[in-house]
Amino acid sequence: MDTPDLRPLTIGELLDRAIAVFVRHAGVFLLALAIIAIPPAVVEVVAAPHGLSGPLAELQQVLAHPNDPVLMQQIVKKSQAEQVPAVLASFLIYLAFLWELTAAAVIAADIFTGTAPSLRRALRLGLARYLPALVVSLGYAIVVFGLFISCGVALIPVFLVIALLAAFSKVLAVIVGIVLALAAFAAFVFFGSILSLSWTIAIVAVATEDGNPIRAIGSGLRRTFARPLLVRSFLVGISIYLVRLGGSLLGIGIGAVLVALTRVESLIVVPATVMSVLITGVVMTFVARYTIDLRVRREGLLGASAAPADVPA
How much is the average pLDDT of 269-296? 89
pLDDT band, residue 184 (cuts 50/70/90): confident
pLDDT of residue 209 exceeding 80:
yes
Quick one: pLDDT at residue 86? 67
**N-term to C-term CA, the chain:** 23
Contacts of 206 (CB under 8 A, 6+ apart): 102, 129, 132, 133, 136, 212, 213, 216
Name the residue with higher pLDDT: 177 or 139: 139
How much of the chain, in percent, has pLDDT values that exceed 70? Answer: 79
pLDDT of residue 287 exceeding 90:
yes
How much is the average pLDDT of 13-31? 89
pLDDT of residue 182 exceeding 70:
yes
Task: Evaluate whether 238 touches 193 at the Cβ level (below 8 Å).
Answer: yes
Least confident of 1-5, 124-128, 308-312: 1-5
Least confident of 29-38, 72-81, 178-187: 72-81
> pLDDT (tens digit, 9 = 90+) per residue, 56-68?
455 555 555 556 6
Q: How far is CA 300 from the centre of its chain?
A: 29
Q: What is the DSSP letter of 25?
A: T
Burial class of residue 126 (count of CB atoms within 10 Å of its CB; 0-12, 13-18, 19+): buried
How much is the average pLDDT of 252-265? 82
Quick one: pLDDT at residue 268? 79
Q: Which amino acid is present at 170? A: K
Name the residue with higher pLDDT: 106 or 156: 106
SS3 (DSSP) at 251:
helix
How much is the average pLDDT of 128-156? 90
Task: Evaluate whether 270 touches 258 at the Cβ level (below 8 Å).
Answer: yes
Name the residue with higher pLDDT: 302 or 93: 93
Backbone φ, ψ for residue 103 (5° rounding): -65, -45
Mean residue pLDDT of the chain comes to: 81
What are the contacts of 221-227 at 24+ separation with CB within 8 A?
223/198, 223/291, 223/294, 223/295, 223/298, 224/194, 224/195, 224/197, 224/198, 225/194, 225/198, 226/298
pLDDT of residue 304 exceeding 80:
no
Quick one: pLDDT at residue 313? 37
pLDDT band, residue 1 (cuts 50/70/90): very low
Q: Which amino acid is present at 284? A: M
Quick one: pLDDT at residue 147? 84
How much is the average pLDDT of 63-90? 61
Q: Give the domain ranges of the chain.
A: 11-306
